[in-house]
Structure 1
Amino acid sequence: MSTNPNHEHVASYYAATANPSPARPTLAGDIECDVCVVGAGFTGISAALHLAEQGVQVVVLEAARVGFGASGRNGGQIVNSYSRDMDVIEAKYGSETARALGDMAFEGNRIIRKRIAQYAIQCDLKDGNLFAACNDKQMQGLVEHKALWERYGHHELELLEGPALKREVNSDRYVGALVDHSGGHLHPLNLVLGEAMAFEALGGVIHEQTPVLEVRHGEPVVLRTPQGTVTAQRVVMAGNAYLQGVLPELENRSMPCGTQIITTEPLPETLRRELIPNDMAVEDCNYLLDYYRFTADGRLLYGGGVNYGGQDPADIAAVIPPQLLKTFPSLAEANIDYAWSGNFLMTLSRLPQFGRLNGNVYYAQGYSGHGVTCSHLAGRLIAEVMRGESERFDAFAGLPHLPFPGGRLMRVPLSALGAWYYSLRDRLGY
């Protein structure tokens, strides 16, 4: 993501249309609590809210603002499952692990919808997301994808080809699609802001502009900040791609990656109905995928691209529009009103990393592009394990946290080389 010396939200469409939210004070002084959560994005706020609902005393420390990172800058798509699906999990880690993770693969979606209803969060929730195939091989993959998800009890799926496809997304780029009617899209920054306010209404405390400088392990744990300390019986590390320099053991087996998003000016309703008639969110099936949807005020929000290591491109508005115009040539004259970038955290396996350090420091990170739903699941599992129900958390914690080949020095060029190879296969239809 862009560097931001004031630690305020970047100049995105989401920040410009955010619901009113109070500025929380910087921590000044020494305090104690049951649980301290580091990071006020989806993972941290989800965990904090679940714990607060159980009556646990929770303090959240955020280096910038609530939703500053990926949680407030992503594509806003509610996509089920994980970045690697259950067939890959079963092949690599066995049927027992695949079944355990498969039973949770659609839970994050349900948690989000429950939160929105329970706390009356205004975040522009809309139903439906669509996976679009750019060639016949990808279409066959979607046929297999449907069968796989149905094996795990998810049946709200529909394959589209020919005229049926045009009734959902009117672009010549695609040969077919798979609709997940249970998916959807929303304003992610407003979701996390609403969840934060629900947490505070239950007595929770959030300190913004409060980076953690040091974690002193022990019983209890002491977290040092620029103007104070927090002494906590247990800690949740939920910084994801923004946890640099705090716990190196969580950084060495993951890598920040940047993605870019633009939004057009508001488009006429007739044009919107022509392009995406039923207002679904769309993502294609390429390795470096494009994703897009209409916002509540009629803008096309379009994202894509990956910068390994998290560096910003020199000109975001020059990177994404060519892809947009391949998809919808009729938008050649549409103005681009917003352009921004954001980092997500990728793991080598593309599966999330959950675990414990020294018994009382918990972490969940590395959703590899599927963070909206999986982070909400992570919050629930962290609350479960803290009340002694560890089976579901441990199903994730038992996955190996693999190092990137070449270590931190070579992980960026080697990952970029791999991405080039798979992108070439996509272009050739292999």
Structure 2
Amino acid sequence: MVSLKEVSSAIKDLKLSNGSSEFGGSGISKYLPVSDPTESFWQTQHDELKDHRSTEHLPEHSDVVIIGAGYAGVSTAYHLTKDHGDATQSITILEARGACSGATGRNGGHLRPDLYGHIPTYVDRAGLRAGAEIAEFEIAHVKVIKKLIEEEKIDCDFTLTRSIDVWCNEEAANNAKAIYDQLVASDLEYMNDVIFHTGEKVESICGVKGAIACASYTAGTIWPYKFILHIIKLALATGKVNLQTYTPATSITPDPKGGFIIGTPRGQIHANKVVHASNAYVPGLLPEYENNIVPCKGICCRISVPEGTTVPLLNNSYINRTKDKVLSYLVPRADGSIIVGGAAATFYPYRDQWYNNVDDSVLIEAAKDYYTGYMQRTYRGWENTGAKVDKIWTGVMGYSYDSNPHIGVVPDKPGQFILAGFNGHV
């Protein structure tokens, strides 16, 4: 993932470059997903709903039209039917490609709350309580996801684990310890779950070569594609939700009689309300967001070992920061494989490869080989395992100018709502 600081800097450079945005207003196509994306490991087990259309033709009308069949869009449909069923009788989800084909189905499967990474930034901006609320919300999110998976009996490889932060750079380790001490001194209750280690035993504790400091706290891991597809099935089972894949929304026009007309290559649909849940792609239909939510690519891969090979057990998820400050997130799987991604520092200088770029059919050239030999050079005991990358992909995230998600009514457009700009972190 790309850090908030890096994206914020890039956005500021863009806005100052020539007094105008390089997004341009010549057409929506720049904000539509490409038709041939790289396939993520999560999507290799295709679900029957991947190319699902509830009806052969678009319905003429829907109380709510949701644009995007990822985490935000699908969860919105689920909660509308579960919590507000009487108020909403019909919901249509429009997805430009297959269900859960975007960033939700391409991430690392890491349910990791941010307890101290970006929290000091939010504390500086809005005060201690505001920063703590963000951390507490993310912590609560892990617990709610666990409860939902158990209640709905969702098969998605969910685990509750410890996430281990590792620093191999002395300056970065000292800064992290200072932030940890600051938050502990602020008497934030959630910091009781954090354990911070320094000293000679760090490498033995975390298993990472050259580790100077490490910390751990409660987090989770998940198969995101399976999770979302199950939620879609629950929503469809209510009879109130119509899923239309491979149906990009290309225009939204206010209807003089009330509501909105949403245009697609397959025809039009009328809606009383519209929910924009396409994250990085929202500027295509909401041009007022073109300088505020920017599409940014990231990279992720799956590493496996030859069949029959015994490898050191990894029970925890990781965030590793190398001596030269390259950050990677890592999720071990029960099948012995590893999901790992990030490496933003390797491609950040090559802005055209990732910034304001929605082409997830092309890997990030500057980073595509970074994870070759990663386990061997990073973890003790993995030197002779034969671990290698067997699947690599990219995805498009949405980063906001103010580093905050945009959730609620679209300004000056009553009846239209937005859930986007999530600023993916690890």
Provide TM-score, normalisation by structure 1.
0.75
Tell me the equivalent position of 1:341: 394
Question: Which one of the candidate residues 183, 188, 196 is aligned to 1:148?
Answer: 183
Task: Give the C-alpha shift of residue 211 in structure 1.
Answer: 0.3
Q: Which moved more, 1:343-352 or 1:61-70?
A: 343-352
Matched, 1:40 2:58: no
Matched, 1:327 2:378: yes
Name the larger-Rg structure: 2
Question: Which one of the candidate residues 406, 414, 420 is aligned to 1:353?
Answer: 406
Q: Which moved more, 1:231-240 or 1:285-294?
A: 285-294
CA 1:360–1:141: 2 relative to 1, 3 Å:
farther
Task: Give the C-alpha shift of residue 186 in structure 1.
Answer: 1.4
CA RMSD of aligned residues (A): 3.1
Q: Which moved more, 1:13-22 or 1:293-302?
A: 13-22
After superposition, where does 1:241-320 map in structure 2 within 5 Å? Answer: 241-243=280-282, 245-266=284-305, 270-273=310-313, 276=314, 279-285=315-321, 289-306=327-344, 307-310=354-357, 312-314=363-365, 317-320=368-371
Task: Give the C-alpha shift of residue 75 in structure 1.
Answer: 0.8
Matched, 1:119 2:183: no
CA 1:162–1:196: 2 relative to 1, 3 Å:
farther
Q: Tell me the alpha carbon deviations over residues 211-235 of structure 1, each in whole angstroms, 9 at most, x when there is no partner.
A: 0010113641221111222222221
Tell me the equivalent position of 1:230: 269
Task: Give the C-alpha shift of residue 173 in structure 1.
Answer: 3.4
Task: Give the C-alpha shift of residue 64 in structure 1.
Answer: 0.6
Tell me the equivalent position of 2:163: 129
Query: What is the rounded CA distance, in whole Å, between the counterparts of 1:38 and 1:239 in structure 2?
Result: 6
Provide the secondary structure at the position in 2 that maps to 1:53.
helix
Amino acid at match of 2:401: L
CA 1:223–1:27: 2 relative to 1, 3 Å:
farther
CA contact (8 A) 1:158 1:180 kept: yes
Tell me the equivalent position of 1:221: 260
Normalized per residue, the structure richer in helix is 1
Tell me the equivalent position of 2:107: 74
Query: What is the rounded CA distance, in whole Å, between the counterparts of 2:201 and 2:230 in structure 1?
Result: 37
Question: Which one of the candidate residues 77, 80, 96 is aligned to 1:63?
Answer: 96
Query: What is the rounded CA distance, in whole Å, between the counterparts of 2:116 and 2:203 in structure 1?
Result: 27
Matched, 1:186 2:222: yes
Matched, 1:197 2:233: yes
CA 1:255–1:332: 2 relative to 1, 3 Å:
farther
Provide the secondary structure at the position in 2 that maps to 1:320.
coil
Query: What is the rounded CA distance, in whole Å, between the counterparts of 2:366 and 2:128 in structure 1?
Result: 45
Amino acid at match of 2:317: A
CA 1:340–1:290: 2 relative to 1, 3 Å:
same
Query: What is the rounded CA distance, in whole Å, between the counterparts of 1:131 and 1:27 in structure 2?
Result: 49
CA contact (8 A) 1:84 1:351 kept: no
Query: What is the rounded CA distance, in whole Å, between the counterparts of 1:352 and 1:305 in structure 2?
Result: 23
Provide the secondary structure at the position in 1 that maps to 2:43.
helix
Q: Tell me the alpha carbon deviations over residues 294-323 of structure 1, each in whole angstroms, 9 at most, x when there is no partner.
A: 123111222123332336324864233265
Identity value in percent: 21
CA 1:171–1:22: 2 relative to 1, 3 Å:
closer
CA 1:176–1:247: 2 relative to 1, 3 Å:
same
Query: What is the rounded CA distance, in whole Å, between the counterparts of 1:133 and 1:6 in structure 2?
Result: 39
- Count of residues paired in the alignment: 364
Query: What is the rounded CA distance, in whole Å, between the counterparts of 2:227 and 2:368 in structure 1?
Result: 26
Task: Give the C-alpha shift of residue 113 in structure 1.
Answer: 1.5
Tell me the equivalent position of 1:53: 82
Provide TM-score, normalisation by structure 2.
0.75
Tell me the equivalent position of 2:42: 14
Task: Give the C-alpha shift of residue 45 in structure 1.
Answer: 0.9
Q: Tell me the alpha carbon deviations over residues 8-59 of structure 1, each in whole angstroms, 9 at most, x when there is no partner.
A: x632211123555453127724422222111011111111111110203322
Task: Give the C-alpha shift of residue 262 in structure 1.
Answer: 1.9
CA contact (8 A) 2:33 2:97 kept: no
Query: What is the rounded CA distance, in whole Å, between the counterparts of 2:268 and 2:327 in structure 1?
Result: 42
Amino acid at match of 2:97: A
